Structures are given as structure tokens and as C-alpha cells.
Structure 1
Amino acid sequence: MNDDDIYTARLELVDFPIEVFWDTPREEFIEKLLAGDVLIPEKDVNEQLTTGFRHLRSFIDDHEGEDPAAVADDLAGEYTRLFAAPRPPVLPHETYYRDDTDLLGEGLAEVEASYAAAGWKRPEEYPEESDFIAVELAFLRWVIERQQQGQEEAFGYERVFLDNHLLGWKDAFLADLVDNTEEDLFLAAGYVFAGLVEFEDELVAQMVPN
């Protein structure tokens, strides 16, 4: 696998949990999944990624031949229950899991400072707070793209963001998700999120030591 293939794989990994967690999964995305247009790696990378891909295969197998619109409607209900209803059981925000700040409190400024230091501005179509899982992953995606373009300083930005943000809450979020849903698509995205962060940590450590 050459460098371009590795970057493509990294970006596709980031795109999957962004698509699942950003909002209720879109019908077009579900149609793509059920049509087999999403490549699922055969080679194990780490345990969490392997588990995530197993849940994704289960989701695809269980809904084979179904109307993507109907599947998307069902997922919308579970998404709302999990993440958006009053007092949802799972809060996909970094500051919820941090001991040094309240949910959506002072920790938001630290997340935003990491974005600003790298020169990234959250796209206007992202209405959620800066510590929301899909926003943090969108920043990670942007950093990986900068690395692909040969900007070596982007490895340093990722090192800081992993250490100060993503690594500190990925496992706690995943544990909450596992405790509160049996929906394979959301479990797949949760495990891929956690496994991706672990994979990126190991990869970036080769470029920028901890």
C-alpha cells in the first residue's frame, strides 16, 4: 500500500463516523451502504476497528434488500433517542467526559484554540458546538488532508489534538454507546471512531513523538 492509498484509507475511516454521527443518517448514505459501495477492510488493524467493521457487516446483512428510506427513518428515531432527545443517554461531546470543565463550559475554548492554532475554521453548516464528535472529526479530516499535501506541521497539530482532546474521551464515549444501544450502525461508528483515534495515535507517533 503506497502513501496515497494510506491517505485515502485514513480519510474514508474518518468520513464514516462523521456521516453517522453528524445528524440522522441520510437515505443516500444508507443506500450506499446497502449497495456494498463502502469498502470494509479485510485486514485487522486494531481490535476496536475490527469490532466496528463486524457491526457494519451485521447492519448491512440485516437490512439487505430493504428500502433505504425506511431504514433511514428507523435510524432517525434511534438517533434522536440516543443523542438528541431531552436528557439523551449518550452525549457525544468532549466536554461531557472531561473532569476539568462542565458540559459545553470552559473546555470549549480549549477545543477552539486548537482549531485556531492550526488555522481551521468550523464550516458554517456545522451548527453543533466545537466539541461535538463530528466537528472534532471534521478537524481531524482537515489535518490529514494537510498532511497529504505535504504540510509537515500538520502532524504536530494532530499530535496536540489527539493528546489534548480525542484520546481523553473516546473510550468513555464508546462505553456509553455500547451500554445504551443495540443498533449496529451506531455501534459500528462508535468502535470505528475509537479505533481510528488509536490508529492515528500510533501513526502520528512515528512522525511526532509524544
Structure 2
Amino acid sequence: MSTEDTDDATMAQLYDLLAGVFADPPDEETVAALASGPLPDPGVAPNDRLAAGLEGLDAWGETVEDPAAEADRLASEFTRLFIGPRPKLQIHESYYAGDYLGEPLAAVKETYQALGIASAPDRKEEADHAAVELAVLRELTATDGDRTAPFLREHGDWFDDLAQDIHEQTDEPFYEAIADLVAGVVAFDASRQGVRQ
């Protein structure tokens, strides 16, 4: 397996993790798996944000003694941050583009159509939701990396702002680590694809 194949496999796994935790709070099984590792080595992470995210996730994992109780705690914070009734954050590209669920959402849908990406019939989030875009990046990375660069060029620049806002809205170590991970993963993928952000 080439280095590029290894990078693609690791990136797809990280995108899968991120898509999952932005869609739903981690359940007991996911908490137990993340807490016990293994995670990629932060020492070989290609940028500081990704290293910080991996280090933060590892440090959080060391504090987990009861995965069920931790899953309940994270579910409460997930609801406070992303669901509401008055969520602290709207994790949609269109919100960060200043036209919530407006023209930027339509642009994301057009990009999906141009790239031949069909919407999942059971998807509950809008097309520009962080979980959906990260799931798309997972699929592009796993199946056809050539389509990743156009997507990142058009839609990857808001994840760093999202990460900063998560840090401002929570002191929960798990979500702080996830914030650093999403910023670091997208930045690294953009860099290796030759995309400026």
C-alpha cells in the first residue's frame, strides 16, 4: 500500500469519525472505542491543529471510566451546542456564509450534483450541515480523491471558523478535541490537494 493510499485511508477514517460526532452524540459503544484507542500518533500529525485534536482526544479518553455515563454527559452537551431549543451554534456552511439556508445551501446542492453525489434518503440534516459535508468528504476520499479538491475549494473554508466557535462555546474536552480535529483534518486535506483556503 502506497503512502498516498495510507493517507487516504486515514483521512477517510477521520472524516467518518467527524461526520458521526457532528450528526449525533457518541453512544456508549463509540465512547468506549474512542477512549480505548488506538488513535493516530499526534507526533506525526501534519499540522498543529490536528496534533492538538489527537492529543485532546487521547487526554479525554484517559478520563473516561464509565462509557455509558460519559455518553449521557456528551449527549447533554451536544444538545446544548447543536440542537437547542436554543442551540449555541448553527453548524451549517450557509450560516457561516451569512445567508442561513439560503443561496450557499443551494450552491452546496449544485456542487453535489456536479460531482455526482446523491443525497441519502434517510438524511435528517440539510446538505450544508457539517455532518453531511464531512460524510461527503469521507466518500470522496475513499472512492475518488480527484473530486475532493473541487469540493474543498468551494466548501472547505468554513470549518476553521466552526472550530473556533466550538472552542468559544464549550469547555468540554471531547468537543474541544473534535473542534481541533475538524480544523486540522480539513486544513491538511486542502493542503495535500493543493487547495488554498
RMSD: 1.9
**Percent identical residues:** 36
Counterpart check, 1:145 vs 2:103 = no
Cα offsets for 1:163-204 (capped at 9, x unmatched): 22111x112111110011011111111111111111111111
CA drift at 1:86 = 2.1
The match for 2:156 among 166, 177, 180 is: 166
Q: Which aligned pairs between 1:14-163 and structure 2 lie closer than 5 A?
A: 14-63=15-64, 66-99=65-98, 102-147=99-144, 154-155=145-146, 157-163=147-153
Asked if the contact 1:14–1:141 (Cα under 8 Å) also holds between the matched residues in 2, the reply is yes
The residue that corresponds to 2:7 in the other structure is 6
CA drift at 1:92 = 0.9
Asked if the contact 2:12–2:139 (Cα under 8 Å) also holds between the matched residues in 1, the reply is no
Normalised to the residue count of structure 2, the TM-score between the two structures is 0.92
Unpaired segments of 5 or more residues in structure 2?
none
In 1, Cα distance between the equivalents of 2:22 and 2:33?
Answer: 16
Q: Does the residue aligned with 2:16 lie in a helix, a strand or coil?
A: helix
The match for 1:193 among 161, 182, 193 is: 182
Normalised to the residue count of structure 1, the TM-score between the two structures is 0.86
Unpaired segments of 5 or more residues in structure 1?
148-153
Q: Which amino acid aligns with 1:81?
A: R
Asked if the contact 1:122–1:135 (Cα under 8 Å) also holds between the matched residues in 2, the reply is no
Q: Which amino acid aligns with 1:134?
A: A
CA drift at 1:40 = 4.1
CA drift at 1:41 = 4.1
The size of the alignment, in residue pairs, is 196
